[in-house]
Amino acid sequence: MAVSEFEEAYEDKELIRGAILTTPLAQLRLREPILVDAASTVVAAVAAMNEQRIGCVLVTRNGKLVGIFTERDVLQKVIFQPDNRSWLVESVMTPDPETLEADATIAFALNMMSQGGYRHIPVVDRTGKPIPVVSVRDIVNFLVDLFPDGVHNLPPSVSQSIARQPDGG
């Protein structure tokens, strides 16, 4: 007996739900964090973010996470302020950011991001040392990988795919 489209869609939904609820952050392809010392200048932190093409740096003091400095910090606290080029990053970072350990699930990270309005959450070991940063992009990449054929083979935009079809469908 053939499986209906409805049953396939339900199976897909259950696959995603199960993966999100049970997969720990340690299984995501997370990049090493870019660390800056709390005594670094804002200019140095922004330069590191631009160089690495990332949206945040983790701020440390003596190897321990003390803050996170994000694009939002730049926009809300730094831009258009006088004498901002000499500021220390610790004066404008978000202090004591919420963190997760690597065994936290993706569902927990998504909930924290949603509730807190975060796009980045530092992942730390049991001593508080930063390991990677989990970002919304990391979770989206994980979800895309659940459906590699269906998602990776989509055209860049709907209008381009319609244009290639002789009947528009």
Q: What is the CATH number of the domain that holds 88?
A: 3.10.580.10
163 pLDDT more than 50: no
> Could you tell me if residue 19 is inside a domain?
yes
Query: Which residues, other chains included, contact 46 with Cβ-Cβ below 8 Å and sequence gap of 6+?
Result: 74, 78
Token representation of residue 46: 């922004």
Q: What is the mean pLDDT of residues 16-37?
A: 89
- 169 in any annotated domain: no
Q: Considering the domain boundaries, does residue 39 fall inside one? A: yes
pLDDT band at 150 (very low <50, low <70, confident <90, very high): low
Residue 14 lies in a domain: yes
Per-residue tokens: 153: 């083979």
Beta-carbon count within 10 A of 169 CB: 6
Give the C-alpha separation, 107 to 116, whole Å: 14
Domain that holds residue 159: 5-164
Is 67 contained in some domain? Answer: yes
Q: Tens digit of pLDDT for each residue in 105-147?
A: 999 999 999 999 999 999 999 999 999 999 999 999 898 888 7
pLDDT surpasses 70 at 75:
yes
> What is residue 169's DSSP assignment?
-
Question: Could you tell me what percentage of the chain is helix, strand and coil, using 3-state DSSP and rounding each to the nearest 5?
Answer: 45, 20, 35
Q: Look up the pTM and report it.
A: 0.67
Q: Is residue 115 part of a domain?
A: yes
C-beta of residue 29 within 8 angstroms of C-beta of residue 81: no
What letter does residue 128 receive in the DSSP assignment? S
Q: What total of structural domains would you count in the chain?
A: 1
Q: Which of 129, 51, 54, 42 is nearest to 93 (CA)?
A: 42
Half-sphere exposure of 34 toward its Cβ, with a 13 Å CA cutoff?
18
